């Protein structure tokens, strides 16, 4: 399995698609380098983006990101459905996060004796989820096309499963560390909700956890670090714009360079990662990890491998325990699904079906709001209970109900007619 990992792309509305874009050349060289690397290593099975996709959470920035990620995937030989994302602080619309009512909720969390309990209380309030996540509305609309959108209280982690070479599952967990992000962000003053502390160990599953902010930016960072070190063999972070690889007995941690760091910041070092995973089963099950860390050099300008001593590849093995599964079992995947008994669920499905659903989501994303609404209404996929929900959550349920009611073909035909 090959993972292409990017972070902190920072598409800025005032720059992208203009002649004054200061990062056009850098992004072009990244595309060229990733294309060349994937010719050697193979097409990526998943493309991870660990936050700060936009610069100010604007719709146009996310639209540009979609088109750029499509070009990246095309060049690397994988479909756009391979993309998996989490939000960062730059994906937040700060005008909404800085509003008095939202700031009062942030303050309640920050001053609570038990912040996780306070987050849960607000998540269970009738208006709490909408208010707390409103600043991520544009991000969620973008993330829905990859089924990585978030909504409280029951889908606060993006989740996906991909089959490894021995038939076991690499389970991706995308954490939201931007829950209380605003213009008032300070180190050690951000939070995650309780579900992040409940990621389980399971037989036949290797956990990969991705978050934008590293542990030092979280109030409960040490506690979360302890938990993830116990359950997640692969850990991926962004935000710091500094490349680090931490090889531990039980996990490997990648802290990413920024794909588009600010040019005037100290230690300017654009980069991205290619991470290769393989399970070896003899004599014991071992997760074999190769990290191909690509960093920018100047004069001449190009991406080169970051060295692990004298090697251009970081190699590490982790014991992952026995598993009785068969390598020839039917390939299945897990979508990021609604997880409550009161809402329809999207069950585990064959990889081919899951791919078709993700392709459909990408096409749906490109339609206008009125076109989406017309399609959902004509197929009877809206319900009265949806009225109070954010638009992105209503449209997510369109897909879930279409699957549940056997209307995916009708939905596909309706989307095609509106293209």
Residue pair 181/220 in contact (Cβ under 8 Å)? The answer is no
Pairing between strand 244-247 and 252-255? antiparallel
Strand partners, 44: none
Output Rg (C-alpha) for the chain, integer angstroms. Answer: 21
Strands 83-86 and 46-50: parallel
Q: How far apart are CA 349 and CA 359, in angstroms?
A: 15
Q: What is the 3-state secondary structure (H, E, C) of 297-312?
A: ECCCCEEEECCECCEC
Q: Tell which residue, 159, 178, 182, has the closest CA to residue 107.
A: 182
Instruction: Give the Å distances, CA to CA, from 141 to 16, 62, 99, 131, 416.
Output: 20, 9, 21, 16, 20
- Do residues 364 and 372 touch, judged by C-beta distance below 8 A? yes
What parts of the chain have a pLDDT lower than 70? 326-352, 419
Q: Which two tokens stand for residue 84?
A: 């998996």
pLDDT of residue 330: 45
Phi, psi of 318 (to 5 degrees): -130, 125
How far apart CA 215 and CA 50 sit, in angstroms, is 14
The dihedral built from the CA positions of residue 235, 227, 150 and 81, taken in this order, carries a sign that is: positive
Distance CA 254, CA 220 (A): 20
CB neighbours (10 Å) of residue 216?
Answer: 13
Tell me the residue length of the chain. Answer: 419
pLDDT number for residue 356: 81
Q: Which pLDDT does position 324 carry in this prediction? A: 82
Could you tell me which of 243, 313, 238, 319 has the C-alpha nearest to residue 279?
319
| Tokens describing residue 5 | 């990992």
Rounded Cα–Cα distance for residues 340 and 271 (Å):
39
Cα dihedral sign for 252, 180, 342, 379?
A: negative
Distance CA 100, CA 107 (A): 10
Domains of the chain: 2-319 (3.60.21.10), 344-417 (no CATH)
């Amino acid at each position: 399995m090959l993972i292409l990992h990017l972070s902190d792309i920072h598409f800025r509305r005032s720059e992208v698609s203009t002649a004054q874009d200061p990062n056009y050349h850098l992004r072009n060289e990244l595309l060229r380098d990733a294309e060349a690397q994937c010719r050697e290593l193979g097409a990526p099975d998943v493309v991870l983006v660990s936050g700060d996709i936009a610069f100010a959470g604007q719709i146009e920035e996310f639209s540009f990101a979609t088109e750029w990620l499509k070009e990246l995937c095309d060049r690397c030989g994988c479909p756009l459905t391979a993309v998996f994302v989490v939000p960062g602080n730059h994906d937040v619309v700060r005008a909404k996060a800085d509003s008095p009512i939202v700031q009062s909720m942030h303050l309640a969390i920050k001053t609570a004796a038990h912040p996780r309990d306070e987050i849960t209380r607000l998540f269970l309030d009738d208006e709490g989820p909408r208010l707390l996540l409103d600043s991520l509305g544009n991000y969620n609309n973008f993330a829905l096309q990859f089924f990585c959108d978030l909504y409280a209280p029951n889908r606060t982690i993006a989740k996906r499963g991909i089959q490894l070479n021995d038939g076991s599952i690499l389970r991706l967990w995308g954490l939201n560390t931007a829950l209380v992000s605003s213009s008032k962000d300070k180190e050690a003053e951000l939070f995650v909700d309780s579900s992040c502390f409940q990621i389980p160990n399971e037989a036949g599953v290797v956990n990969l956890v991705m978050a934008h902010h590293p542990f030092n930016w979280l109030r409960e960072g040490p506690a979360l670090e302890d938990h993830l070190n116990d359950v997640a063999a692969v850990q991926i972070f962004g935000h710091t714009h500094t490349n680090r690889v931490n090889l531990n007995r039980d996990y490997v941690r990648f802290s990413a360079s920024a794909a588009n760091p600010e040019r005037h910041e100290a230690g300017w070092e654009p980069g991205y990662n290619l991470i290769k995973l393989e399970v070896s089963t003899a004599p014991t099950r071992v997760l074999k990890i190769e990290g191909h860390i690509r960093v920018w050099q100047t004069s001449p300008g190009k991406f080169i491998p970051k060295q692990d001593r004298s090697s251009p590849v970081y190699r590490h093995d982790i014991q992952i325990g026995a598993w009785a599964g068969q390598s020839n079992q039917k390939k299945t995947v897990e979508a990021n699904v609604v997880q409550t008994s009161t809402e329809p669920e999207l069950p585990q499905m064959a990889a081919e079906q899951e791919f078709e659903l993700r392709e459909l989501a990408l096409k749906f994303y490109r339609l206008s709001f009125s076109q989406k609404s017309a399609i959902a209404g004509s197929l009877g996929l809206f319900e009265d209970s949806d009225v109070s929900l954010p638009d992105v959550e209503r449209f997510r349920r369109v897909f879930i109900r279409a699957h549940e009611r056997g209307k995916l073909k009708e939905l596909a035909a309706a989307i095609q007619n509106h293209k």
